[in-house]
Every structure is written in structure tokens, then in C-alpha cells.
Chains A and B, each alone.
Chain A
Amino acid sequence: MSGLNTPRLRAPARPRRNRDDKSFRTPARSRRNRDNKAAALFLLPWFAGLVLITLGPIAASLALGFTDYNLIQPAKFSGLHNFSRMLSDERLHQALGVTFTYVLVSVPLQLGCALGLALLLDRGLRGLAFYRSAFYLPSLLGSSVAIAVLWRQIFGAEGMVNQVLDLVGVQGRGWISDPSTALSTLIVLNVWTFGAPMVIFLAGLRQIPVMYYEAASVDGATRWMQFRKITLPLLSPIVFFNLVLQIIHAFQSFTQAFVVSGGSGGPSDSTLFFTLYLYQRGFNNFDMGYASALAWLLLIIIAGFSGINFWAAKYWVFYHD
């Protein structure tokens, strides 16, 4: 064990420790070597998942998109057939229309509610924790089958909404059985879950220093001017984050449309979300080749929307540091 003592004995002879001198540390290369080995161990499950569960299936999905495959017979190469089918597939066009309407209407409404309520709940409000919980809870429940069941009742012909309308003498209708309003009930459901982005807005608002507002009000700025000139610019990165996230999220909505329409996307395909159509093609008709091609179309659409978002961000998102 004398080895332990030798460095101390030799210490005076060594050059002075210098922070920039890396020689006294473990040499970087051996550290990296050791870290590489440890990383191989720690990342093993993740890497296996990446290859087997994520990237592998994505690649397979692309390959299947060029085939005809029904799970029973072997896949048959069909060239661009699946993609040319898309051009003349009326139900696909309907599904795209429904999905775009849903995303473009419900996300801005949802984020508007989230931001509005977050502003009302700002700093030091009494009962803040209660309000936050009350507004947040629906966003945890919203994607469940149970809430979709409830929606099916309350917007039904004799549902709760019509009972309330009846009390004030308004003649309601079967909101879900009417193709012109069925999608709106799902939009309402998505807006109802504004709690999650609201909590993110709240955290963002906390980060804006109070002194900005104090300085502004000393200068005589009205609340509206403070909102326009301080809150909005400083919050814009968070608005952007929520926007990207909720758009991606909305494109993937499935459960509510499925339960409310009984899996059909009806009435008259008015709630036929893209994901629901993909499900019907793949898992009702076992048209796996076409479903794979549809999956890639969805990926491209979502990537496109996110790309547009990131590009547009240059013009309105403000990064102060």
C-alpha cells in the first residue's frame, strides 16, 4: 500500500497545479474510453428500442408503403400504386379535410383559453392552487374513453346540453348525429383540455421579472400596453412551444372520434380523423400496404406543419438572450 504514499512524497517535485493543464487529470482519451463502455451498457435498452421499436418499423413502414400486403399472403411489390390511390381516394380527402379543420380550429381556441386563464391566474391570486387544479384536471381526463362516452351522451339528441337549452327555450338538435355539428363537439372537447398548456403558460409568466411591469407602470403604460409590449414578447417562446406541441398532439387525436362515432368516423364521415381512417384501413380491412403509405403521409404532414412553424417562428418569436 505504499503506492498510496508515493505521490505525497513526490509532491514538491511536481509542477504546480494549473487549471488549464489537463495532464494532472485522467487523460481525456482514457476517460472517453471508459465512458464509451459505460454508455454502451446504460444505453443498451434505449438503443435496442430505437432499432427494434422505432427506426426499424419506420423503415419497414416506408418499404410496406410500396407493397400490397394483407398479413396472410406475402407482401407484393406494387410500385407507386398506393400513392396514386391516395389521389383518387375520396374518403382520404374527407379525412384530411376533417383533420385540418380540427387542428386549425381547436388548437388556436385551446391555446387562447389557456393563455387567457393563465393571465387571470397570475401571481399572488388567492385560491390559485384550487383554480389551477380545477382547470388542469380535464386535460388529464380528456383523452379517456369514459369522457368520450360522456360526450356522446351530453351532445346527443336528448343529451344534457339540449336539456339545458330546453330550460331557456331553445330548440336543440342531435349535435353528434348531425354531420354539420359532430366535428364541433370534438373541437369543444379539445378546447376543454386547455389545462396542460395553461400550466406551461403559468410557469412562463412566473419567469418574467416583476420589475419590468413596475417600470412600465411608472412610465404610465396601460395594462394593455404592458401586455402587448412586455408579456407577449417575453412569453412568445412558450406560445411557440405550446403551438408546436398541441398541433402535433391534435393531429394524433383518435379516441374521442372513435368512441363518439362508434368507430365509423360518422355521421357521413364528418368525424373521420386521419388516424381513424388509418386504423380502418389497416386493422379493419388489413390493407397494411396502404395503411403504411398513409402513415408516411401523416408523418410528412406533421413534419411539414412543424417545419412551417419553425420557419414562421423567426418572425414572431422573441428570444431576449
Chain B
Amino acid sequence: MTELSLRRSTNSPGRVRTVVKHASLILIALIMLYPVLWMVVSSLRPNNEIFRSPGLELDGLQVHNYTDGWTALSSPFGHYLLNSAIVVLGAIIGNLVSCSMAAYAFARLEFTGKRWWFAIMLGTIMLPIHVIIVPQYIMFSQVGWVNTFLPLIVPKMLATDAFFVFLMVQFIRGLPRELDEAARIDGAGHPRIFLRIILPLMLPALATTTIFTFIWTWNDFFSQLIYLTDPNMYTVPVALRSFVDSTVDSSWGSMFAMSVVSLVPIFLAFLIGQRYLVKGIATTGIK
């Protein structure tokens, strides 16, 4: 009886607090997501209504915003989606191969000057791309790579995204060394240990890398703006930006429509890869 009343007496203010907490959290979540929801709804509205209605009500679907937007630029929007997909795919493959190789060396090999190299690698994580973009641009323009996807993909093949090297090093360090030793006793060299033992075990780290590379490359604007100036080579962000600059305010509907289209892949990547995203930032953030 006393136990029951005790529990009740701590419970009811606790319950009020829980309700208030959930109510405020839901309110914050709504405020956070509202702009995006509003953009999705507005992309289905007639243009004049976008500037009249801050709500989410919808009478009739203006699907023509999507068809208009799709064909508003010199190429259909699908062309830019394809260009972005090529860049993203190249970046993902490049990062997976080159970063995992480098990470294996840093995590498992005892080579001369390892600590120095590792420190240099960590140092490059923080390096802003803006510091190297000018000479890089000069270099790539001299070899005729401007207006190709190579300046966006080749650096990834050379493990310049040191963040992922670090993430994978952390992951490999967590794998039991006995597995390598066992394989070595069986006569496996480093390439085979890497391919047969470490790579299959580091799938979660590879998944995290894939998803982050996908999202970051898909969103990347700065380097794509600099290297892709031929409209035929535009990727989604660059195309979208030229859409904004070339149109008058009357076509917000179709501009929103293409903005929504450009966010769909990010949203899907987020849904599929949430677990790895959260794990990825959490582990590298702490350890």
C-alpha cells in the first residue's frame, strides 16, 4: 500500500512532465521539418498560391510543375540526375577501394615512420578544400580535365577523403588480431588477409562510407560549380542553381518541384542508411 502510493506520488508529476516533454519535442520536430514539408506541398501548387498560403492544404495537384521543371533547362532534368549519379558512383567506388587500403596499412602494418604518416593523414582531414582549389584547378585545366567528371572522381580514388581512412582505421583496430595471425600461419600474405578477412568484416564501416560519400557528393556544390561549366556536364546542384538564376519569380512551382526531385535520393539514402549514419558520426566523434 505504501509502495503503491509512493509510486503514484512520484508518478503523476512525472507523467505531466513526460507529456509536456513529448509535446514540446513534437512541436520542435514539426518546426524543423515544416519548411521541407511546405516545399513538397508547394511544388504541387499553382505559382500564385505559393505566395499566399503558408499552410499545407492542397486543392488539386499541379503535376505540370514537375513536367515543366523537368524540361525547363537545355537538357531534361534526368540528364543532370544521370550526371550526378555517375559522379557519385565514381566517388563511392574510389573511396571504398582507396580508403580501405590505406586504412589497412595504418591499422595493421608496422612500417617505417608510421606515426608520422598517420599524423599527416589526420591533419589533412581538417584541410579546407578552398586552400587547394586554385592550384588544383590550374593543374586539372592544364591536363584538359575541366568539364569532365575526372577532377571530381580521381581525387577520391587517391584516398583524399581522409575522414573515411580514419573511420576505417578505427573500425579495423576493433577487429581481433588473432584472425590475421591465424591467416598468416596458414600462409596468407597481406593482400590476401586484407581481401579475405578484413574487408568482409568491415562491411559496416564500408556501408557508412558509402552512405556519407553518397550524400556529401550528391550535395557538393563548390567543386562541381568550379569544374563543370558546360551545361551538358552539369550535375543536379549546378543545374538547379542555373535554374534559379535563369528564371523569373513566376516559376517557383517548377523550381520547387526540381528541388524536391533533387532531395529524393538524399532522403532515400537517409532512410536506408540511418543506422550507419548515426553509428558513423557517433563512433568517429568519440573515439
Contact = CB atoms under 8 A, between A and B. Distances in A.
Interface of A: 31-32, 34-36, 38-46, 48-50, 52-54, 56-58, 60-61, 64, 71, 117, 120-121, 125-127, 130-138, 140-141, 143-147, 149-150, 152-154, 158-160, 163-164, 167, 192, 196, 199-200, 202-204, 207, 238, 241-242, 248, 251-252, 254-255, 258-259, 262-263, 275, 278-279, 282-283, 288, 291-292, 295-296, 298-299, 302, 306
Interface string B145-184: 0000000001101111000010000000000000000000
Given A49-B159, A255-B221, A295-B130, A241 B285 contact: yes
Contacts of A202: 282
A38 B191 CA distance: 8
A78 to B, nearest CB: 15
A152 B244 contact: yes
Interface string B36-51: 1011000000000011
Contacts of B39: 146, 150
Contact of B285 (A50, A238, A278, A298): A238
Given A46-B121, A153-B252, A203 B128 contact: no
Give the 7 A-B residue pairs with the shortest CB-CB distance, closest first: A49-B158, A203-B282, A60-B135, A146-B259, A39-B111, A200-B285, A57-B132
Contact of B274 (A133, A262, A283, A306): A133
A50 B134 contact: no
A57 B136 contact: yes
A38 B158 CA distance: 17
B281 A278 contact: no
Contacts of B158: 45-46, 48-50, 52-53
B101 interface: yes
B133 A295 contact: yes
A146 B240 contact: yes
Main secondary structure of the interface of B (DSSP, over half): helix
Contacts of A120: 21, 24-25
A60 B136 CA distance: 9
Contact of B33 (A46, A60, A134, A255): A134
B29 interface: yes
Given A58-B131, A71-B141, A200 B281 contact: yes
Contacts of A145: 219, 221, 236-237, 240-241, 244, 259, 262
Given A163-B52, A275-B222, 13 more contacts: A35-B111, A38-B189, A39-B111, A40-B111, A42-B101, A49-B155, A57-B135, A61-B131, A133-B274, A145-B244, A167-B54, A200-B282, A291-B134
Interface stretch (B85-93, B102-110, B201-209): B102-110
B67 interface: no
A259 B112 CA distance: 47
A135 B278 CA distance: 12
Interface string B116-145: 010011001011111111111111010000
Contacts of A60: 135, 138-139
Contacts of B53: 163
Question: Which of B97, B137, B194, B283 neighbours the largest number of chain A CB atoms within 10 Å of its CB?
Answer: B137
B132 A42 contact: no
A36 B117 CA distance: 13
B255 interface: yes
B134 A295 contact: yes
Given A131-B29, A135-B29, A248-B128, A42 B104 contact: yes
Nearest to A192: B32
Contact of B128 (A43, A150, A164, A251): A251
A158 B51 contact: yes
Contacts of A41: 190-191
Given A149-B244, A254-B221, A288-B138, A302 B282 contact: no
Given A143-B219, A163-B53, A150 B35 contact: yes
B167 to A, nearest CB: 14
B38 to A, nearest CB: 6
B132 A61 contact: yes
Given A43-B102, A138-B32, A207-B286, A35 B110 contact: yes
Question: Which of B256, B274, B285 neighbours the largest number of chain A CB atoms within 10 Å of its CB?
Answer: B285
